[in-house]
Amino acid sequence: MAANILVVEDEPAIQELLAFNLQQAGHHVISATSAERAYTLLRDTLPDLILLDWMLPGVSGIEFARRLKAEAFTKAIPIIMLTARGEEQDKISGFETGADDYITKPFSPRELLARIKAVLRRRAPQMTDDPAEIGGLRLDPGSHRVTGDGKPVELGPTEFRLLHFLMTHAERVHSRSQLLDQVWGNQVFVEDRTVDVHIRRLRRALEETGHEHLVQTVRGSGYRFSENA
């Protein structure tokens, strides 16, 4: 899977433990010991997921999470909160933070990795770098390359993201507004019909290698990526 994970944790021991386990699993880890530092890091690169300690010096984890969910450019990043046992009982509403999941200390590395994987898959399968290959069409997010039966396919940025989303959510119908939310981002104001045009551009590009049939129209519902007619 190999995700970029930002760990925000003030206690060095836990910090190291987390970093070790995550790296062991092939993830790339960025560390911050406070919300402020984390925020600075975020300006450079956006991670695929944030592990956030509930209790932080200065700006608390809860507060930080809320801030992340409020800002457009960090809104979509999944957050997993680290909480100490029993904290849950007393502290403020966990949901208000918008965290995607919680892990209660102490936790096993296996549980940690499992939850990370689950969150990434649930939240944004197209964010993982796993290559997708369906019906002879192959999309590799890592190298940002698409090939149909080995031959390269040229795509614009939007068509690439669109195809990536469709391929990582194949066999399902997606309405135009769902696609706008997922591919364009949910704060963008764009006409529904614009999706049609990009579907058209995607199809035209796929015609080169004869894979345009994989992008299917479901009248009255939206579009679907499927191997089957």
- Interface mask toward a second copy for 155-194; x: CB under 8 A: -xx-------------xxx-x-xx--x----x--------
Please count the residues of the chain: 229
Question: Does residue 172 touch DNA according to CB under 7 A?
Answer: no
- Interface mask toward a second copy for 7-26; x: CB under 8 A: ------xx-xx--xx-xx-x
Query: In the complex with DNA, which residue's Cβ is closer, 99 or 137?
Result: 137
Which residues, other chains included, contact 98 with Cβ-Cβ below 8 Å and sequence gap of 6+? 65, 66, 68, 69, 79
Question: Does residue 121 touch a second copy according to CB under 8 A?
Answer: no
Residue carrying structure tokens 């390269």: 152
Residue carrying structure tokens 């790296």: 23
* Residue 196 contacts which entry, a second copy, DNA, none (Cβ below 5-8 A, type-dependent): DNA
Query: In the complex with a second copy, which residue's Cβ is closer, 28 or 200?
Result: 28
Inter-residue long-range contacts of 59-64, CB under 8 Å, 24+ positions, other chains counted? 59/34, 59/35, 60/35, 61/8, 61/35, 61/97, 62/91, 62/92, 62/96, 62/97, 63/35, 64/8, 64/35, 64/38, 64/39
* Phi, psi values for residue 150, rounded to 5°: 90, -25
* Residue 197 contacts which entry, a second copy, DNA, none (Cβ below 5-8 A, type-dependent): DNA
Hey, what are 88's tokens?
Answer: 């849950």
| Binding positions for a second copy, rule: CB under 8 A | 2, 13-14, 16-17, 20-21, 23-24, 26, 28, 66, 69-70, 75, 84-85, 88, 92-96, 98-102, 105-110, 112, 123, 142-144, 152, 156-157, 171-173, 175, 177-178, 181, 186, 218-221, 224, 226, 228-229
